A = this chain, B = another copy of it.
């Protein structure tokens, strides 16, 4: 299987980036996510809410899945995230058998994209300069918040 960017991904990816920017503007961690079904319909969006809700589990992807509500299965879905998923979010993708993941960047945080690929998930890495810039700006200003969000707190 070749992991490829599709023209129809633009809207959902832009929405994920808007969610990241929204979180940043609120003083939160700038990671956004969108869930789309096979027809390209937006099922849910969300962003990291660690700062806003004092909820350590409210990563971008988890918030997106939460906002999307209940669903029988996710086999035909694509989840977009501005940053490579952490172990928890990777686990959520595998649990719900989401078949395709579009990742904005894996430079700031590498995640474990190989684990997804090995499980047969199609992973598209966009390597988006704006995603990288926003994350690195947040981390430079809030290193402690970021470290705690990825389990590296002291």
Contacts of A3 in B (CB 8 A): none
Contacts of A74 in B (CB 8 A): 151
Which secondary structure dominates where chain A touches chain B? Answer: loop
* A window 75-105: CB within 8 A of B: 86-92, 94-97
Task: Identify A50's interface contact among B56, B70, B73, B94, CB under 8 A.
Answer: B70
Is A129 an interface residue, CB under 8 A from the partner?
Answer: no
Which chain B residue lies CB-closest to A71? B56
B150 near A73 (CB under 8 angstroms)? no
Interface residue ranges, A against B (CB under 8 Å): 50, 54-58, 62, 65-66, 68-74, 86-92, 94-97, 148, 150-151, 153-154
